[in-house]
Chain A
Amino acid sequence: MQVTVSKARIAEKSKRLETAARSRIYENIDEAIEFLSFHVPVDTGAYASSMHLNSRGDNSGSGQTSRRKQRGQAADPVLNEMEARLRTSLNSIDLLDGITIVNKAPHAKYVELKYAIFDQLRDILR
């Protein structure tokens, strides 16, 4: 008896698997961005502006301080800008490599202590 598997068929199946995996990861990250766009607190807007979505392991990005910034900013424009920026990053990253969401604001740890944004995100994506 003999079984022969065509390389072309394996390649095709592998491609379909990759596409399915990419789509599933995209859905999860899309949900994460949706969560952030509803739950990120806005006061000066510095925290939201310091949120970045990068390739896995890349924790680069600009961090804005909240010092000397006007408090009580309207949340919608700030969150819309953040969401648009994160979605642009989402579409430019190879999702099979994984992603890193990072906040570079100097006061991020205090925001985390009070609002647990990343803890909630971890719980949702787990």
Chain B
Amino acid sequence: MSAIYQHIRRALEVELDNQAIADVAYENISFTPTTGTSFLQPVFTPTIRRPAVMGTGPQQRYQGIFRVLCHAAEGTGPSVADGLANSVIAAFEAATDISYNTGSETIKVSISYAERSAGILDTPWYIVPVNIGWYIFD
């Protein structure tokens, strides 16, 4: 159980990396964006850890959001960020499972939804957030 969050994060980040949609600025890793070049910024946000069943020593249901902030250059219109968001949503379509080999076992992170919200200008970037809802039983 202790490493489950790391495994979930890795599963989602590896999947995003495999899609090769754009450069990725991972959390707590130095990243210097190139002006005018789009990039993705994933943020791993667990929300719930609850027993899945009653009784002692139950399996836990973990749930959360994998936010992917799609950055496009300011002043270039919405289409670039929209395109990035569409690609991310397609890569993490609802009702799919993402398998990840931790070295000792293979876990499956299930995607419950993938949706975007309105773009926002945060100079020098125009950002479209995509929220990917995930859950796993462990």
Contact = CB atoms under 8 A, between A and B. Distances in A.
A110 B112 CA distance: 26
A119 B122 contact: no
B65 A123 contact: yes
Nearest to B117: A119
Given A116-B65, A119-B67, A120-B45, A126 B120 contact: no
Contacts of A123: 47-48, 63-65, 131, 133
Interface in A99-126: 109-110, 113, 116, 119-120, 123-124, 126
B67 A116 contact: yes
Contacts of B69: 113
Contacts of B113: 126
B43 A116 contact: yes
Interface string B62-87: 01110101000000000000000000
A124 B64 CA distance: 8
Contact of A119 (B65, B112, B127): B65
Q: Which of A116, A119, A120, A123: most chain B CB closer than 10 A? A: A123
27 contacts: A109-B118, A110-B122, A113-B69, A113-B122, A113-B127, A113-B129, A116-B43, A116-B45, A116-B65, A116-B67, A116-B129, A119-B45, A119-B65, A119-B67, A119-B117, A120-B47, A120-B65, A123-B47, A123-B48, A123-B63, A123-B64, A123-B65, A123-B131, A124-B48, A126-B112, A126-B113, A126-B133
